[in-house]
Amino acid sequence: MAPAAILLLGLIAYPFGRAFYLSFTRTHSAQVGPFVGLDNYISLWGDRFFRQSVGVTIRFTFWSLVFKLLVATLGAVLLHRLGMSEGLLAGLILLPWMMPQVVRAITWRGILDPLLGSVNRILLTTGLLSRPYPFFGDMRTALASVILVEVWQGVPFILINVLAALKGIDRELYEASAIDGAGPVRQFLHITLPGLRYVIAVVLLLDLLWTFNSFELIFLLTGGGPANVTKVYSVLAYEMAVRGRWYSRASAAALAMFPAFLLVIAALGRYVMGGHRVAESSRLLSRLGWSFQGNGAESLLRLPTRKLGDAAWWFADRLELLVAPLARLWPRRGPRVRGQATGLLGRWMAGAGLAALLLFELGPFFLLLITAFKTEIQITRFESLLWPQPWSFAQFERLLAPGSRFLIWLRNTAFVSLVAPVLATLVSALCAYALTRLRWRGARLVSNLILIAYLLPPVLLIIPIHQLFVQLGLNNSLWGLIIIYPALILPFAVWLLMGHYAALPDELEAAALVDGCSRWQAFMRIVLPLAKPALVAVTLFGVTRAWNEFLFAYTLLATEQRFTLPVGLASIVFGDVLPWGQLSAAALIMAVPVLILYVLGQRFLVAGLTAGALKG
């Protein structure tokens, strides 16, 4: 536990404690100011700009989660029904999730650019627009456009996990329900959805963490504008800290939403770990100080659940009547050969839905690809809008010219992304084993604290870590990133590996110990080889996180010679007239290594996520 304890205490617990204390002071510099109690929090909630940012954060998180869940579940069902749940197609849908955050921002800013964007040119050509429209620059569409990008990037993660869960639902349940007269709607409501309940809760828990604390995407797309309509609380807190040097107020802004956020996570986590029974919710609330016993409140909690069940049955009955003529054309599950089509219309409807999903997920990547291979004349004159004529490598030649700053950024990123994940995998493997296999007092508490560390918003930690690294001389250094990245990766990696270790039979280690192996030898020769899928998943996650990370690199690195690729490309993105050809080529080069890693390790990644994270 020692290596993990050093990282977690030094780079998460201490910065969190310092930020927590700063929120009760009046601090504008490295020197901690006087203690002022709750003044920062009171003034924050009295500030209309902060209240506006809270509202934006809630709307952004809610609508993003709703649309991601709907699109991902529908896509997974279509892929499963058409027998395309494995292979190249399922792998291609993961592309938006694999792409680095700065690549996503460059892609969508280029697509929706009012002057050179593909969407504006298509709409102008077809007559749907009379003049170019600034999607990210108009107050009416800015937040909706950001939500669209968030849905686009988040759907693959939910889809791949729901797809894995669909494979685990017993087909005999569908056959038995069909014999009893249940149609497709009832089968979906009462077999498919209950079978997906646990997985959906887990992926929503993870996605809620990422979406609520989202910073990089919004910061790169709009910077919080126009007129603060996309300024979520994390962007506001960052601006207070970095631009305003108001460290205490920024810490309070980052912490103000944390209690409510923690309650939502605790409720969802209780559902995941202990089921959704009302009695469990009652016991959880009584621990918080509210007694539900003997006052009828428990019955009030049961009443909405029962009413919702009745409403679901009523809705299923009415929906069955509406779709009964089409249900006969839909492929029904029965004792037939897998993939055999029994309804032509159903196959066409499923195929059309899947084509729309693929167009939504892969279309932006295609536009990025063709823009990277166009000349500047083709881009500015809008020639060969959907296919380069001819294909050109001019953009790549400029980027990869000897001595170019892009090569420096690429070298820095590769160095950090190779060293930090190896360190994170080693430390997390040891920590998870100590928490799962070694019986010691306090292990459960420590594992819960590690999970809570995963909930902390990164923008909360950036202020004290920046001050700490300045004192240690690690500011503007790649070694500073190599130290901080394993601490950021560690909570998720430990959680995933704990699930794998817990699933391994204890008898294997016991037999090894009886045969004369030491605990260390049993760990190296028995446990680690069996946990290979989880270790590969952790390493892939670490490489991706280090390769893509923007916030800490953007804050800690000050000179262009130290920039990583995300920071370097972001320094080019900010502006009105941008070299979209070179940016597209740079984004493509940045995305290719991650794509290759995921293609090579896709099987281990899916196995690690579904068997480790979802069980842990």
Domain coordinates in residue numbering, the chain: 2-25+45-256+343-613
274, pLDDT greater than 60: no
**Residue 372 has which token pair?**
């990277």
- Cα separation of 117 and 459, whole Å? 31
- What superfamily does domain 2-25+45-256+343-613 belong to in CATH? MetI-like (1.10.3720.10)
pLDDT band, very low/low/confident/very high, at 610 (cuts 50, 70, 90): very low
pLDDT digits (tens, 9 = 90+) for 391-430: 888 888 888 888 888 999 999 999 999 999 999 999 999 9
Residue of 6, 12, 8, 4 lying closest to 427 (CA atoms): 4
pLDDT above 50 (res 282): no
Query: Residue 308 CA to chain centroid, in angstroms?
Result: 30
| pLDDT, mean of residues 350-358 | 82
**Integer Cα distance of 41 and 338 in angstroms:** 60
Q: How confident is the model at residue 266 (pLDDT cuts 50, 70, 90)?
A: low
In which band, very low, low, confident or very high, does the pLDDT at 380 lie, cut at 50, 70 and 90? Answer: confident
* DSSP-H helix ranges across 135-192: 142-167, 171-179, 184-187
What is the arithmetic mean of pLDDT over 211-237?
Answer: 90
Looking at residue 329, its pLDDT comes to 46
Global pTM value = 0.79
Looking at per-residue pLDDT, the higher value among 60 and 129 belongs to 60
Q: What one-character DSSP code corresponds to residue 339?
A: T
- How many helices (H) does the chain have, and how many strands (E)? 32, 0
Angstrom distance (rounded) from CA 346 to CA 82: 10
The amino acid sitting at 357 is L
Task: Indicate if the pLDDT at residue 246 is higher than 70.
Answer: yes
Calpha distance 12→22 (Å, rounded): 15
Q: What is the pLDDT of residue 429?
A: 92
Q: Which of 345-349, 351-355, 483-487 bottoms out in mean pLDDT, i.e. has the lowest?
A: 345-349
For residue range 16-25, list pLDDT tens digits in order.
899 899 899 9
Q: Is 53 helix (H, G, I), strand (E, B) or coil?
A: helix
Bridge partners, residue 35, by sequence: 25
Query: Which tens digits make up the pLDDT trace of 429-449?
Result: 999 999 888 878 888 888 878
Query: What's the pLDDT score for residue 343?
Result: 52
Condensed to tens digits (0 to 9), the pLDDT of residues 443-488 reads 888 887 887 777 778 888 888 898 888 888 888 899 999 999 999 8
pLDDT score, position 84 = 63
- Which pLDDT belongs to residue 301? 34
Q: What are the angstrom distances between the C-alpha of 91 and each of 68, 94, 98, 573, 596?
A: 18, 5, 10, 29, 11
Give the model's pLDDT for residue 574.
Answer: 61
Residue 448: both structure tokens together: 């819960």
For residue 114, count other CB atoms closer than 10 A to its CB.
16
Is the pLDDT at 276 greater than 60? The verdict is no
Task: Give the separation between CA 491 and CA 528, rounded to whole angstroms.
Answer: 19
C-alpha distances out from residue 499 to 13, 132, 508, 573, 598, Å: 24, 51, 17, 40, 21
Residues 152-189, buried b or exposed e (16+ Cβ, 10 A)? bbbbbbbbbbbbbbbeeeeeebbeebbeeebbbbbbbb
**Do the Cβ atoms of 583 and 106 come closer than 8 Å?**
yes
SS (H, E, C) 433-478: HHHHCCCCCCHHHHHHHHHHHHHCCHHHHHHHHHHHHHHHCCCCCH
Task: For residue 35, give the 3-state DSSP assignment.
Answer: strand
Q: What is the per-residue pLDDT across 501-537, written as a single tens digit (0 to 9) for each?
A: 887 787 888 888 888 888 888 888 888 888 887 888 8
As a whole number, the mean pLDDT across the chain is 78
Side-chain half-sphere of 262: how many Cα atoms within 13 Å? 15
Residue-wise pLDDT for 116-142, tens only, equals 788 888 888 888 888 888 899 888 999
Which pLDDT score, from 0 to 100, does residue 336 have? 41
375: left (phi over 0), alpha (psi -120 to 50) or beta: beta
